[in-house]
Structure formats: C-alpha cells, structure tokens
Structure 1
Amino acid sequence: MNDSALTPERILAAAEEVLRRYGPGKATVVDVAQALGVSHGSVYRHFASKVALRDAVLRGWLERVRAPLDAIATSRTAPPARLRQWLTALRDIKRNKVLGEPELFATYSALAADAREVVGEHVEHLLGQIETIVAAGVKSGDFRKVDAQATALAIFDATSRFHYPGMAHLWNTPGEDAAFAQLLDLLLAGLTPTTAPPRRRKSAS
C-alpha cells in the first residue's frame, strides 16, 4: 500500500483483521504494518505506540457494541418501555458476543484487561445512557423523583448478573429468562410513582 493512502481507519481495519485471525499476541505495530504492506514507521505516524493502537481498536469495538444502545436511550419511546428495551438489548448484545463469538470476545477481553481507561470510558457511557432514560422518566412523571445518576448506577449494578461476562456460566441455565424478566418488573415497579391511598370517610356515629 502507498503510504499516502494510509489512514487511521485503514490501520484500524487491518489491526482488527489481524486480531481476528491471530489473536492479541499478534496485534503489534509491526504485525499490522506487515499486513498493510507498509513500514512500521508509517503506522507510528498515526499511532504513537502499540498501546495507542490497541486502545483505538478496543475503543472502536466498544463504540459499535453500544451504538444500538445509544439509539434506544435517545428514542422517543416511553421511559418505562425504553428502560426495559435498553436493559434487554444490553443483555442480548453481551450474550451474543460472549456465547456466539467466544474466541473473538476473548481476544477483545485480553485487550480490555490492559486498557482500564478505555473500559472505564465505556462503562461511564453506558451509565450515561441509563441516566438519560431515568431523567426522562422523572420529567414525564413515569418515574418517581429520584437522583438519576445514582439510580443509573444502582440499575447497572443490579442487572450485572445478566450482562457481566464473568457470570456467563449462568446464562444458559433453566429459568434465566424468567429471572431476568422478574428483575426488570421489580426495578420498574420501584421506579413507579406511589399514590396515596384514598382517604376513608368517617362513618356517621
């Protein structure tokens, strides 16, 4: 490839292909340069180090993972249905990645282990999406008045059993879908505004 045609996007695409074929052990600047047919110096002009290249690859992958979640979080769907849809989508995305593409997921997990800052950005973005939905629900009156940021963190933590890869060994157990649905019902019930019971009239003496 002509160096003048080399762009960050082309480098990242090549890096992802190298990762997919050979795993994280081959995702070095030299390996990617060889795949592109250029010198490693050409790659370094766009990415200062192997760490920078790997972080960029991981960041791109995580952005694609959360893109459908972004669409749900900013939709005009009623907040209760939107929150249920968002949490279900997060669960489905993680299940598809972990169970459907185990080798590829393991590769990206290896990158994530050395990129805490990138992973932290990703989690903060997810929390921001939940916060957006909760705040919309409070504003519309569908949810009771709560601290949207604190509630978002509580919801994320409460549902981690169903989306944290470390719990994947439980995802195919009987009753998993029912347990998830029950948790969503409980969370939404907890956010529903409470109404005071009607006052009873005093009986005539």
Structure 2
Amino acid sequence: MKKASTSPIPARGPADHEVRDQIIAAATEHFSRYGYEKTTVSDLAKAIGFSKAYIYKFFESKQAIGEMICANCLHEIESDVRAAVAEAGLPPEKLRRMFKVSTEASLRLFFQDRKLYDIAASAATENWQAVQAYEARVQNLLQDVLQEGRQSGDFERKTPLDETAMAIYLVMRPYLNPLLLQYNLDTTELAPAQLSSLVLRSLSP
C-alpha cells in the first residue's frame, strides 16, 4: 500500500515525489501499530527523520495522509472485485462475483489489519473524498455490468439504468461500506449469494 492512489486526495508538493511514498509508508506502519487517532504528525516525522514542517509541504493535514491510506485500502478491494468481474463470463455471474468478492475483500481487511480498517470506517463516517470516489467507481462498474446484461438479453430494460444501479448498490452497501460491515459480520457467509440471487430475479426480463 505504499504506492499513492490515483484518487484526488488533498496533498501538496509534487505528486510523484518519493518523499510522499516515504510518508505514506511510515504512516501506514504507524497507523497499523498504534491506530490513526493515536498517531500524530510528529510521530511520523520522527519515524522518517523529517521535520513536521517538511511533511506539511506534501500533505496539508494528518487527515490528508489518512485519506491516501484509506484510498489505497479501498483500491485493493476494488482491484479484487474488478478482477473477479473480468474473469466471469455472463453478466449474471459478473453480478454474483461483485457481491461475493467485495464482501470477501472487505472482510480480509477487517480481520487482517483492523487498525487500517478503522481508518476506512472513520473515513466512511466522515464521508471522506476517498470513500465518495470509491463508491462512485463501484456504481459505475455496476452500471457497466447491467448495461452488458441488457445488451445480452439477461436483464430487463424498462427501469432507468442509473436507478437500477443505485438500488443494487444500496443492497450491497452493508457489505461494501467499512462503517456498515462491522455491524453485519454475522450475515457475511450467506448474504452475498442470497442477495445476489434476489437481485438477479428482479432483473429478469
């Protein structure tokens, strides 16, 4: 997760500067160990060997650093989902894969690196730009799958595409959104298959 995300996150200095990668790497390590709230910019500066003033040349605040890390975490989840969709054949299977893999990838982050997951949960609570961009990309991917299904005759065409995509996204959201996932852990084993089956029945022509 050391590589900077392509999402537009508030930052200063040259975007490709290696110092930015150093700051993100040090912040990721500190946040993983101590948590976002307990880590200060002074802690990061000490770990890297820079002054706080120098760090502020690249990031306007600790939240800006947190946003970059959050964007990287969400990008990993999104990459898994896109890869699963690309490997699927027919549109119905693509949709099933979206439900299944997005839940699995979110759970992996939740259980493997809880402190980084907590950053994503905080970001969802405060509706950070990284979360907004992630949700928009997921909805765009949904629209692409739906459009393909309409062209192949697998899905109905009467409901406006954007309305359909938003409705399905709202069904997926408890397992996609980091803040909501922690309250739905007891249903993650069965929900992806059951919800995707229900959605696919509603999409039948």
TM-score bracket relative to the smaller structure: 0.7 to 0.9
CA offset digits 1:139-166 (Å, max 9, x no partner): 2222121432211111121234444553
Residue pairs, 1:165-184, within 5 angstroms: 165-166=179-180, 168-172=182-186, 177-184=189-196
Instruction: Indicate if the aligned counterparts of 2:67 and 2:128 stay in contact, CA closer than 8 A.
Output: no
State how 1:1-205 maps to structure 2 within 5 Å.
6-75=18-87, 77-145=89-157, 146-164=159-177, 165-166=179-180, 168-172=182-186, 177-193=189-205
Deviation at 1:169, TM superposition (A): 4.5
Once the 2 structures are TM-superposed, how far is the Cα of residue 178 of structure 1 from its aligned partner? 4.4
Measured after TM superposition, the shift of residue 9 of structure 1 is 1.5
Identical counterparts, % of pairs: 26
5+ long unaligned stretches in structure 1: 194-205
After TM superposition, the structure 1 stretch with the greater mean CA deviation from structure 2, 76-85 or 111-120, is 111-120
Q: CA deviation at 1:118?
A: 2.2
Residue segments in structure 2 that go unaligned for 5+ positions in a row: 1-16
- The alignment yields a C-alpha RMSD, in angstroms, of 2.5
* TM-score after normalising by structure 2: 0.77
Aligned to 2:11: none
Query: Quick one: structure 1 residues 171 and 60, their matched pair in 2 at CA, closer, same or farther if it must change by over 3 Å?
Result: closer
Question: More relative contact order in 1 or in 2 (CA 8 Å, sep 6+)?
Answer: 2
In structure 2, what residue type is equivalent to 1:147?
Answer: P
Deviation track 1:67-125 (CA, whole Å, cap 9, x = no partner) reads: 11122344562111111011111111222333454444224323443453221111111
Deviation at 1:19, TM superposition (A): 0.3
Distance (whole Å) between structure 1 residues aligned to residue 193 and residue 76 of structure 2:
26
Segment drifting more, 97-106 vs 80-89: 97-106
Decide whether aligned partners of structure 1 residues 46 and 186 sit closer, same or farther in structure 2, where only a CA change above 3 A counts. same
State the SS of the aligned residue for 1:24.
Answer: coil
Whether contact under 8 Å (1:91, 1:163) holds in the other structure is yes
Between structure 1 and structure 2, the one with the greater Rg is 1
For the structure 1 residues 12 and 115, does the alpha-carbon distance in structure 2 shift closer, same or farther, using more than 3 Å as the test? farther
TM-score by length of 1: 0.77
CA distance in 2, matches of 1:21, 1:59: 19
Aligned residues, how many?
187
What secondary structure sits across from 2:105 in the alignment?
Answer: helix
